[in-house]
Amino acid sequence: MNPAGTGSADDGSRDGAAPGRREELHAPFRPVRGRRTAIGAAVAQAAVLVWVAAAMASTGPEAAHWYDRVGVLLVAGAIGAMLWRFARLAAFPSDEGLTVRNLSGDRTVAWAEIVSVRFGGGNPWVTLDLADADSLAVMAVQRADGAAAEAEARRLATLVALHSRTERND
């Protein structure tokens, strides 16, 4: 790396970061507490609802039919699928842009489209302000993770600055 902090063609880093540091900067963003909570809740509810389905009376006046058991298992599956969406929250940086996986689906934005990174004012997660006056929540960086989330927000802002830099930087 030259003294000005810009990468040269021979060090393998187009954006000015040393190769090892570049890999650290471009690591995926994932929540910690939210992911653990979602996985724990999914396992717990599945265990309880499978037990309920198995414990349903099979004889007597209050006997459950096979479709009652299947219904309970389908509810367990639906709740598990919803919790899995929470556990899969992530953001994946690349040289081209940032792919954000939120609950509603994936969206890729080019680095040039990102105007600013906001993580303050009590917001539960990072919000990207985009050039088209839209905003995009990055649910992978959640306030519930405390200081780690603040560090991840700074890392994301650093990535935006690195990938948005131009020769004149105007």
pLDDT in tens, 13-55: 444 555 667 788 889 999 999 999 999 999 999 999 999 999 8
Q: Per-residue pLDDT averaged across 77-93, rounded?
A: 96
**Would you state the pLDDT for residue 87?**
95
Alpha-carbon torsion angle 106, 94, 90, 116, nearest 10: -90
Total-model pTM? 0.75
Q: Which residues contact 88 (CB under 8 A, 6 or more apart)?
A: 101
- Higher pLDDT: 20 or 84? It is 84
Output the average pLDDT for the chain: 86
